Amino acid sequence: MTGLLVIMGSGETAPTMVKPHREIFQRCGDRPAVLLDTPYGFQENADDISAKAVKYFADSTGRGLSVVTWRTAPAPGLPLERALTGLREAGWLFAGPGSPTYALRQWAETPFPSVLVEVLESDGVVCFASAAALTLGSHTIPVYEIYKAGTDPHWVPGLDLFHQVTGLPAVIIPHYDNAEGGHHDTRYCYLGERRLAMLEPLLPPEAFIIGVDEHTAGLFDLAARTVTVVGNGGLTLRRGGNSQCWPAGTTLPFSVFTGTVFVPGNDLEPTPAPAPADPPPLTSLAASTQETTARFDACLEARDPDGCVAAALDLEQALQDWIADTDVSDEREQARAALRGMLVRLGSFAGPDRFTPLVSALVDLRTEARAGRDWALSDSLRDVLASANVTIQDTPAGPSWSAQ
């Protein structure tokens, strides 16, 4: 087995993972890159999710992706063979957000798992993130059913592909350090410690958990039998309630997962991660919103209109940078609300000429949103501009705007 199995905790179409994606693509050269749409195939906006992902990779890595549609298990015969052929030809095969249990239902009792092995045997890259990553282990967390619908915590059988290609009987948990819950525990892919502690004893004695933090990836080199941690967070081995974590920049031998852990100084010690030279980038649109809002407030208090405009422009750029992110949340609306507030407060002391760069940027962002059929963002930006008494007219030659 000579391929590379990449497991991403989250951020698969976020600005934070552009550098890892570029480095991973170097591994597969010019071989075809394929996006598989199964995990989100049940969603009404599946076409939009695919289009955003294709655009993200084209813009950020320069790689064109073809989409293999497997939203439901293809019918036997030509439909199935056509899909399998598209997957087998991949040098880089990607699946990401959605529902792990939905994906498993579409892949069960089909040749799909064996095709993943074929890609890895041919020195290809299989990159599974978020929901898709959950399916790789011997057992899978039914996230939606537990966190959203209140089903009692339980495991469902996974693909067990990770065990097949690495020899490690692991359960994979992405979003390992999730903190969206604020005052309630949403670590461990929204399970929290209480529910994970209930589930862990139900695993087979030999099984253990590998957790991958958000905006982080584990690069499992099947030939070298090592894993390299990249991104902003860490990779965690959890067994029997005990955990050991390695930060980005660390390279580990597979044997560290099967040998004695928590014993420093043995021959299974990983290569230490280098100290980061620069502060890590902001890992969410919410973090960018918080940072630019704080900067705007400080500049407003200091009566610095140029600083206020710069902060607002940076928030507009963050909205653009995160537009392709397929992770569903309310962060985009929160950012829009913050931007609307900035515009309103800018009007308290800034002259009209100071608005021109910001308004032009917002109009351009709305034009891109309309081209990408993101009507919600387009309408929200129109409302943002209207709140500042800016009127947009859409003409065959493009949009024009005027301020009252």
pLDDT level of residue 122 (50, 70, 90 thresholds): very high
Mind giving me the DSSP string for 90-147?
Answer: -SEEEE-SS-HHHHHHHHTTSSHHHHHHHHHHTT-EEEEEHHHHHTTSSEE--HIIII
pLDDT for 349 equals 58
Asked if 142 and 22 touch (Cβ cutoff 8 Å), the reply is no
pLDDT for 273 equals 47
pLDDT for 277 equals 46
d(CA 356, CA 403): 10
pLDDT tens for residues 156-198? Answer: 999 999 999 999 999 999 999 998 887 889 999 999 999 999 9
pLDDT for 324 equals 62
pLDDT for 344 equals 77
Helix 356-371 vs helix 375-387: angle between axes, to the nearest 10 degrees?
160
Q: Which two tokens stand for residue 254?
A: 């597979």
Q: Which residues contact 49 (CB under 8 A, 6 or more apart)?
A: 37, 40, 43, 97, 326
Share of the chain above pLDDT 70, in %: 89
pTM, two decimals, is 0.74
The mean pLDDT of 251-278, rounded to a whole number, is 59
Q: Which two tokens stand for residue 7?
A: 């497991």
pLDDT tens for residues 15-53? Answer: 889 999 999 999 888 999 999 999 999 999 999 999 999
Q: Which two tokens stand for residue 78?
A: 């030509």
pLDDT tens for residues 342-375? Answer: 877 776 655 555 567 777 888 888 888 888 888 8
Find residue 247's DSSP bridge partners. Answer: 234
Tell which residue, 157, 170, 67, 64, has the closest CA to residue 113.
Answer: 157
Tell which residue, 166, 164, 222, 160, has the closest CA to residue 27.
Answer: 222
pLDDT for 76 equals 92
Find residue 226's DSSP bridge partners. Answer: 221, 253
> Which amino acid makes up residue 222?
L
Which of left, alpha, beta for 215 (phi over 0: left; psi -120 to 50: alpha)?
left
Task: Give the CA angle between residues 3, 98, 20 to the nearest 5°.
Answer: 40
Neighbours of 361 (CB within 10 A): 16
The mean pLDDT of 251-256, rounded to a whole number, is 93
pLDDT for 272 equals 52
d(CA 200, CA 6): 24
pLDDT for 242 equals 92
d(CA 56, CA 132): 18
Find residue 34's DSSP bridge partners. Answer: 66, 93
Helical segments of 322-389, H only: 331-346, 356-371, 375-387
Tell which residue, 99, 88, 169, has the closest CA to residue 133.
Answer: 99
Q: Is 38 exposed, middle or buried (0-12, 13-18, 19+ CB in 10 A)?
A: buried
pLDDT for 390 equals 80
Tell which residue, 61, 102, 148, has the closest CA to residue 324.
Answer: 61
pLDDT for 222 equals 96
pLDDT tens for residues 44-63? Answer: 999 999 999 999 999 999 99
Asked if 97 and 130 touch (Cβ cutoff 8 Å), the reply is yes
pLDDT level of residue 302 (50, 70, 90 thresholds): confident
The label of the residue with tokens 């962002």 reads 365
pLDDT for 157 equals 96
Asked if 221 and 254 touch (Cβ cutoff 8 Å), the reply is no
pLDDT level of residue 259 (50, 70, 90 thresholds): low
Q: Is 303 exposed, middle or buried (0-12, 13-18, 19+ CB in 10 A)?
A: exposed
pLDDT for 264 equals 40
Q: Which two tokens stand for residue 403?
A: 């301020």
List Cβ<8 Å contacts ≥24 apart for 105-112.
106/38, 106/41, 106/70, 106/71, 106/72, 106/73, 107/38, 107/70, 107/73, 107/135, 107/159, 108/73, 110/73, 110/74, 110/80, 111/80, 111/84, 112/70, 112/84, 112/87
pLDDT tens for residues 195-237? Answer: 999 999 999 999 999 999 999 999 999 999 999 999 999 999 9
